[in-house]
Chain A
Amino acid sequence: MPDTDALLQVEHLSHSFGGFKAVDDCSFDIARGSISALIGPNGAGKSTVVGLIGGALRNQSGSIHFDGHDISRMAAFKVARLGLLRTYQVSREFGRLTVMENLLVPPPNQKGENLLNVLFRPSVGRGEDRMLVDRAVEVLETFGLLSLRDEYAANLSGGEKRLLELARAVMAQPKFMLLDEPMAGINPALIARLDSHIRRLRDELGITFLLVEHNLDVVERICDRVVVMAFGRTLAEGRMSELRQNPEVVRAYLGGGLDERAAG
């Protein structure tokens, strides 16, 4: 069962809020270097799974392994330090920091975050920052955000915030990115840009992706593999084209709703 090529393994995960089982015996693997999707109707438990993997929620039973580490019940910042970054369904920018500063927060192990360096050797942090700024400029340029670098993140439009989330995550040089509805509420032109960014990051930097996504066109276009959830459980796995034929999956999407969603 343990797949050596799996970067992330979720096994028999369960989590309840009060008495309500939001996630109920959910299992799946994500292959290294893949772009996968986690889909399912509203309330299926997708965001809860993201929270459990990312460490925002502590799972009540089951296990999560990432890149050889047991990350079940691990604190969020420790999970992140292993190279697993998640984003939120609602953009969570650092509003009163500029776009540039938002990009300078994620890089790990900054010497300028050490209090003794801060008080007695401030040049250490400044020197390090100069290099980070250079890297951030490159990243901002590829995401088309360079002209906004001195803008407060709170002032960006919804779509710009989505791009910022991705750009900011890239600065942390993660192995795995878990994106909760990265395309929610943005226009079709930007969706096309976002999905080409995701593919580029996978191809150039080898980052593995798991996207929670309602837009099945996007899923079909960029995802190698799809995990379907309903009622807290994994219902099916496979390629999107196969899953469209799967009667159980179709039923989960409210009797034929799947085709409508795909069309819309």
Chain B
Amino acid sequence: MGLILPYLATLMVFFFIYNIFTWGLNIQFGYAGVLDFTFITFVACGAYFAGVFALGPGSKQTGFEWILGLNWPFPIALLAGAAAAGILGLIIGLIAINRLRSDYMAIVTLAAGTVIYGLVSNFTPLFDGFDGLAGLTQPFSQILPLNSNQFTYLWVLVSGVVMVVCWFIAQRILNSPLGRTMRATRDDQDAADTFGKDTVRVRLIAMSMGAVLAGVGGALLMGFIGAFSPAGWTSGETFVVFAAMIVGGTGNNWGGVVGSFVVAVLINEATRYIPPIQADPTLIPTVRNMLIGASLIVVLWVRPQGIIPEARRRLYQLPLRPGKPPAAEVESA
């Protein structure tokens, strides 16, 4: 009992944060059809910027070196991380989306992410290179001095509140005329163009808003763990979020919740707490990745639209001819 509660609370925090991730990726891919293969870079951007806003100044002498170091309160640091990620989303989007379509665009995002990864991990004055940021004191510790278990419970609350705000952002976009135009752009960009829609702009908005949610989640991670380094955002992490989104179902946010629960909580995070077998410490992560891959394959095989498919919107109610479900999708309740 003494151990299980903090353990569950920790899983809860990761679940909440992963929900924010899947919704962010869903805005990009599920709504607007933007293939962003470097989603984790925006997570990192949010984490790093939240970190350097909240941390004290670094210095070369101590061996902990980073930009800014403003000692600002965590809520402001979180907003700064979100804004930085949104701006980075816009920049990478401008390079990738402006001139290119679908597959090439995805490759450009991947390339941009690789360049940024190399830069951040090797150029120490930025975020202390491969060692990364560390030593963030518990956010809110001045007002609320807590032991580490109590802090975990506090973070369930903090990330829960932030998650609810992100839910409203994601839902408002999805259910708006803007969301409809995003989905039209996803289905046929040329046709949306010929109806006077500035589809490049629409996709940039989706890219940037998705990156904002990634940055928010990254900032929450930073605040929770107190440290963040390149080992935590290898490109494989992007595919964990993709797997979660696709398993749960794209184009709706409940799908993201289910997907992040299955992939990011049940499979990904839960296995991390099983003690590694002495003989082979890489066994657990390998099993985790195999399970994520297998769940993706199973879902794509038996239910390609995901566990929760995109909802059909009925905008005008009258007696009508009963609709047949589309070939690739089934109407959700």
How many chain-B residues does the 8 Å CB contact rule pick out? 43
Whether a CB of chain A sits under 8 angstroms from the CB of B329 is yes
**Stretch touching chain A among B177-185, B217-225, B255-263:** B177-185
**Stretch touching chain A among B54-62, B76-84, B108-116, B186-194:** B186-194
Q: Is the CB of A94 within 8 A of B191?
A: yes
CB distance from B80 to the nearest CB of A (A): 19
Q: A56-B190, A77-B196, A150-B323 are contacts. A112–B178 as well, Cβ < 8 Å?
A: yes
Whether a CB of chain A sits under 8 angstroms from the CB of B290 is no
Q: In the bound complex, how far is the Cα of B328 from the Cα of A105, in angstroms? A: 22
Whether a CB of chain B sits under 8 angstroms from the CB of A6 is no
**Stretch touching chain A among B236-244, B279-287, B313-321:** B313-321
Q: Is the CB of A76 within 8 A of B194?
A: yes
Which residue of chain B has its CB nearest to the CB of A151? B323
Q: Is the CB of A96 within 8 A of B194?
A: no
Residue-by-residue, is B198-233 near A (CB-CB < 8 Å gives 1, otherwise 0)? 110000010001000000000000000000000000
Residue-by-residue, is A102-139 near B (CB-CB < 8 Å gives 1, otherwise 0)? 10111010111111011100100100110001001100
Q: In the bound complex, how far is the Cα of B318 from the Cα of A93, in angstroms? A: 23
**Stretch touching chain B among A9-17, A40-48, A81-89, A215-223:** A81-89
Chain A residues contacting B327 (CB-CB under 8 Å) are 154-155
Q: Is the CB of A133 within 8 A of B188?
A: no
Chain B residues contacting A114 (CB-CB under 8 Å) are 178
Chain A residues contacting B205 (CB-CB under 8 Å) are 115
Whether a CB of chain A sits under 8 angstroms from the CB of B272 is no
Q: Is the CB of A152 within 8 A of B194?
A: no
Looking at A55, A105, A115, A151, which has the most chain B CB atoms within 10 Å of its CB?
A105
Residue-by-residue, is A195-239 near B (CB-CB < 8 Å gives 1, otherwise 0)? 000000000000000000000000000000000000000000000
Q: Is the CB of A154 within 8 A of B326?
A: yes
Partner of B194, one of A80, A110, A115, A148: A80
Q: A56-B190, A149-B320, A150-B323 are contacts. A119–B172 as well, Cβ < 8 Å?
A: yes
Query: Can you offer 18 A-B residue contacts whose CB atoms are under 8 A?
Result: A55-B193, A76-B194, A80-B193, A94-B192, A95-B188, A96-B183, A98-B312, A105-B195, A112-B178, A117-B176, A118-B173, A118-B177, A129-B177, A136-B316, A149-B315, A149-B320, A152-B329, A155-B324
Known contacts A96-B251, A104-B177, A149-B315, then 20 further A-B pairs from the complex at CB < 8 Å, ordered by chain A residue: A54-B194, A77-B193, A87-B194, A92-B188, A92-B191, A94-B184, A94-B192, A96-B186, A96-B187, A97-B183, A101-B184, A112-B178, A113-B181, A118-B176, A118-B179, A148-B321, A150-B320, A152-B312, A152-B323, A172-B196
Interface residues of A (CB under 8 A from B): 54-56, 75-78, 80-81, 85-88, 92-98, 100-102, 104-106, 108, 110-115, 117-119, 122, 125, 128-129, 133, 136-137, 146-152, 154-155, 168, 172
